[in-house]
Structure 1
Amino acid sequence: MKILYVTDVEGNWDYFLRFIQTVQTSPHTLNALTFTDASHTRLVLQRGYQFVFGGDVGDKGVGIKSGPHWLPETTRQPLGIIPYLSKLARNGQDVPTTSTYSSSSINYTALDAVNTKKKAISDENVLDSFLESVQEGGDLRAYLKHCVLGAVLGSTLLVHGGIIMTANDGRVRSCLGRVPPADSTVSYAAWVAELDALHDEEDHVVEKMDIRQWIDELNGWYAAQILEWERYPTWNATHTFRGGENLQHYVNTGAAYSVVSGRHLERSGMPKQMPQAMTTLLWSQQLHRMLVGHTPHGNAPTIVKHRVLQDGSSSPTRDFQVIMCDTSYSDMDAPDMRGQCASMVVVTHHPHGTSTDGHDGDKKEDDVTVWIEGFIHHELTNVHESYGFNTSEDPFVGRALRTGQWVKTLLAHDRYLVCVVKDSRAYTYSVKSRDEVCEAAVLV
């Protein structure tokens, strides 16, 4: 099984086309996902792949209406390309091998109209377009109904944002085991306050919970909230209830205990390590990595390696990897804030390794390759090149240096792109040789 992953396209159609181009040309995914026609209306996914779109289909990009039109050719199976993750592996179903969208049904965006039709689009036109998309039969409505909030594919956990959030008091809020109230008459804020008040519960939750069961319960909660929204889409007469209200709170920026709004970052914007108890729990349940998006982090995916203690030993022997893949602000000087950068992640679960459901192979060695590939364009460091590497083979990528920099990407000729982040979005990059990185590395 291979997981082909991209996230946070955010309405940027050109970026998605660059991702497809990377998939088509890489020897690790050669033509795994391809368009079959020049008009880009039909995608074909090779068998043996799970295509996971990690979320944020539309945001600041001018192609915001395009993403929800990636609909399956058959309506008998769940969507293979969805905003959070694939239901297919969880349900033991085959992935549809083709996916289509109808280009004729996609309304022009405001920018498209100005540039190509030379006519103005009113605010009312925009509002009507979005309202139509969430009505019965609308594209965004169908898109939401095929979403899930999390998935476990083999030894890989996938959520949109993450499983931790740092509270204002500096305490790490763990999302593990947290499922909000299914009935939106029960206050989301009260639920958060109750969890915050349980200072001693964290260790208990970490020790006792089953992560796969929690993911199933979380996805069940999401489905119930969508159903509640469909039944009661507007406020009641007293403005005290509307369907899906708790889900709206859950996906807000900064929402507590939310895998959608989780952030694996320090307040500065530098990568944040999870508490040891969390990585120990994840590893003990045969989960060895997590793919996330949501929070932009530079011009290439950022790996955060966590040393894991095993078998009661005091010496760390393995690394749990958090791979943050949102690169939507890869070039702040470019008109679309992405520029030429593009990336893909492919996770290969080899046949003799962990089983695809994560249970039957519990006693087997995890035989997985994580390959990250893409293109970086950065003027100040004079880096304009393709890159590709196995995240486990290099000892430095995904770790901090004594200089305060983070080793972000392995480049050609034993060079590394390192970065430091201040004030959340001020990135400073530099290129270092292997000898320089080795001298400044903090390896434990």
Structure 2
Amino acid sequence: MWMPSTSLSTSSSRRVALLTDVEGNWQYVRNVVRQSSCLQLTTDGQEETLKLRDDCMLVFGGDAGDKGDHTLKCYEQLVHLKKKHPDRVVLLVGNRDVNKMRLTSELNDTEMDLSSMAKEILEGPTWVPQDKRMTLKKFLADQQKDKDGASMVNTKVNRLIWMLEHTMGAQGDFERRRAELKLRQEVGDRKEVTDDDIAKSYLDSVEEGGVLREYLLHGSLAFVAHQTLFVHGGIIDGDKDASLSALGRVPDEPSKRYDSVLEWVDKLNTWYRSQVQEWIDHPTWSEDHSSRGGTELLKYVLPDYTGSVVMGRHLLPSGMPTPVPEEIASLLSESGIRRVIIGHTPHGNCPTVVKQPQQQDTCAADRSSDGIVFEDVVMCDTSYSDARAPDNRGCAASEVVVGPSGHVLVNGVLEDGRHIEYDINEDPWVGRWLQDGTMVKARLADKEANEETSYLVFSVENGYSYTYHYRTVTQLREAGLKN
């Protein structure tokens, strides 16, 4: 059953909490709940259940599974919450959610013949440069070295392992699924979880009644509430031309650009639902392998797709954020959108706010809904917050809550245990560039009464190398804001 999720009327008086990119890490969910004013966990024996307070909505930003120990649990809890509160829970889809649609076609019995299977899969992943690509043929050849004949290695299990390891960015997830399935067995009656059991678990999840199919059926690509646009990845691709932005674009209408954000979101979600339904109706390849159900949606979540809200990226090659182009900011302003909240791209140990440089020309504000001017992007994927921790997250976790007025409150803990808390709209420093090229990331909350307020400042080099400093307000003033 389809659940409409464009801009729910029940959001008008409720706070909207954002949770995103949990990627199967249930401990991270626990850490977020500890900071949360909207989410709760209740315990019944060994079972934990995610709850939503009555005065709140939840937007889950996508990528529920793949890299943690509890992928099934994360999907189950989110789907359960959506079904319990259909008007108060929004499930956005990420690339890790959508790409599992491939399982129904690529692990179908008809695809097991290497000579007749889809060539783009046999020789893929096509979006990876050839010199860096681990093709299925090469993967199976490597497996065959220790086996007697190709038929011994050309199995659904090995196909699935190849898909996870080399085409889905889910390295190690096959064995994590084994461990999760074992934990689900009754204590004292635990049996070996075979490779075939694991493959069956993945396939069952995308069949009728399966938890991943349920997630996709209840999902959407974009949502608007409280002057805020929520998408998984973003609306731009770094500093590329504004004409390549995802904003206003719907894949089945390539020559059209919607000016109204609300109309665009509605059309985009309608297209998404049609693609999921096409996948359900046609889960396998056509006879000539020219298409399969949901083909266009599967393309939409690939790294090389231009203009996707799932694969958008608001970063420069260095890893530092970039504002949206002025043209895009104006379009958002005209639709009464004050900010965009995204996940997908990991960015440090807490949310990154990217303040939009305000132009002298106020025409956009004059044309916008109620004089609203687009102000910022908030990047909320913190899945690499602590590289020293086994799960790359450690204790770092933050909650982002959008109030009915459009104000955004951030509350959380950094990887070193220090607390952050601030109102994005009111704080004069967070999200701004300093003259030395660094940016202000967060305001610290744990200070003594007589201490000066301090902030977390950061820079990124080579895409992934983060440097953090704590700076007092006096030090920030000395550094100076960049115009």
TM-score (norm 1): 0.77
Give the whole-Å Cα distance in 1 for the aligned partners of 2:364 and 2:34: 45
Q: Does 1:418 align with 2:457?
A: yes
> For 1:419, what is the secondary structure of its paired residue?
strand
CA positional deviation for 1:387:
1.4
> For 1:14, what is the secondary structure of its paired residue?
helix
For the structure 1 residues 391 and 74, does the alpha-carbon distance in structure 2 shift closer, same or farther, using more than 3 Å as the test?
closer
Partner of 1:232: 282
Aligned counterparts, 1:27-426, within 5 A: 29=37, 32-35=39-42, 37=44, 39-70=46-77, 71-72=79-80, 78=86, 80-84=88-92, 109-112=177-180, 121-166=193-238, 170-172=240-242, 173-181=244-252, 205=257, 209-309=259-359, 311-312=362-363, 320-349=375-404, 367-378=405-416, 384-412=417-445, 413=447, 414-426=453-465
Contact 2:333 2:374 in 1 (8 A): no
Q: CA RMSD in A?
A: 3.0
Structure 2 residue identity aligned to 1:372 = V
For the structure 1 residues 239 and 229, does the alpha-carbon distance in structure 2 shift closer, same or farther, using more than 3 Å as the test?
same
CA positional deviation for 1:22:
1.2
Q: CA offsets, 1:196-242, max 9 Å, x none?
A: xxxxx9xxx5xx61111000000000000001101111111111110
Structure 2 residue identity aligned to 1:266 = L
CA positional deviation for 1:81:
4.3
Task: Report the structure, 1 or 2, having the larger strand content.
Answer: 1
Give the whole-Å Cα distance in 2 for the aligned partners of 1:76 and 1:343: 25
Q: CA offsets, 1:325-347, max 9 Å, x none?
A: 00000011110000110111011
> For 1:165, what is the secondary structure of its paired residue?
coil
Give the whole-Å Cα distance in 2 for the aligned partners of 1:313 and 1:226: 37
For the structure 1 residues 8 and 75, does the alpha-carbon distance in structure 2 shift closer, same or farther, using more than 3 Å as the test?
closer
Give the whole-Å Cα distance in 2 for the aligned partners of 1:416 and 1:265: 22
Give the whole-Å Cα distance in 1 for the aligned partners of 2:379 and 2:277: 31
Contact 1:2 1:348 in 2 (8 A): yes
CA positional deviation for 1:76:
8.7
Partner of 1:355: none
Contact 2:410 2:423 in 1 (8 A): yes
Give the whole-Å Cα distance in 1 for the aligned partners of 2:40 and 2:273: 28
Give the whole-Å Cα distance in 2 for the aligned partners of 1:406 and 1:369: 21
Partner of 1:440: 479
Q: CA offsets, 1:47-84, max 9 Å, x none?
A: 23111111110021111111221234795974754541
Partner of 2:140: none
CA positional deviation for 1:375:
0.5
Structure 2 residue identity aligned to 1:332 = A
TM-score (norm 2): 0.71
> For 2:205, what is the secondary structure of its paired residue?
helix
Larger CA deviation: 407-416 vs 69-78: 69-78
Q: CA offsets, 1:245-302, max 9 Å, x none?
A: 1101111234211000001111111101111111122122211011100000000000
Contact 1:113 1:120 in 2 (8 A): no
Q: Which runs of 5+ in 1 are unaligned?
A: 24-28, 86-106, 183-190, 196-200, 350-366, 379-383
The alignment covers a number of residue pairs equal to 372
Which residue of 21, 25, 28 corresponds with 1:8?
21
Give the whole-Å Cα distance in 1 for the aligned partners of 2:238 and 2:326: 15
Contact 1:36 1:44 in 2 (8 A): no
Q: CA offsets, 1:415-437, max 9 Å, x none?
A: 11111111211111111121121
Identity, % of aligned pairs?
38
Structure 1 residue identity aligned to 2:27 = D
Task: Report the structure, 1 or 2, having the larger helix content.
Answer: 2
Contact 2:68 2:176 in 1 (8 A): no
Give the whole-Å Cα distance in 1 for the aligned partners of 2:265 and 2:82: 26
For the structure 1 residues 225 and 113, does the alpha-carbon distance in structure 2 shift closer, same or farther, using more than 3 Å as the test?
closer
> For 2:296, what is the secondary structure of its paired residue?
helix
Larger CA deviation: 277-286 vs 32-41: 32-41
For the structure 1 residues 131 and 243, does the alpha-carbon distance in structure 2 shift closer, same or farther, using more than 3 Å as the test?
same
Contact 1:304 1:323 in 2 (8 A): yes
Which structure: larger Rg? 2
For the structure 1 residues 292 and 313, does the alpha-carbon distance in structure 2 shift closer, same or farther, using more than 3 Å as the test?
closer
Structure 1 residue identity aligned to 2:410 = I
> For 2:22, what is the secondary structure of its paired residue?
coil
Give the whole-Å Cα distance in 1 for the aligned partners of 2:271 and 2:373: 33
Contact 1:402 1:441 in 2 (8 A): yes
Give the whole-Å Cα distance in 1 for the aligned partners of 2:87 and 2:68: 23
Structure 2 residue identity aligned to 1:373 = N
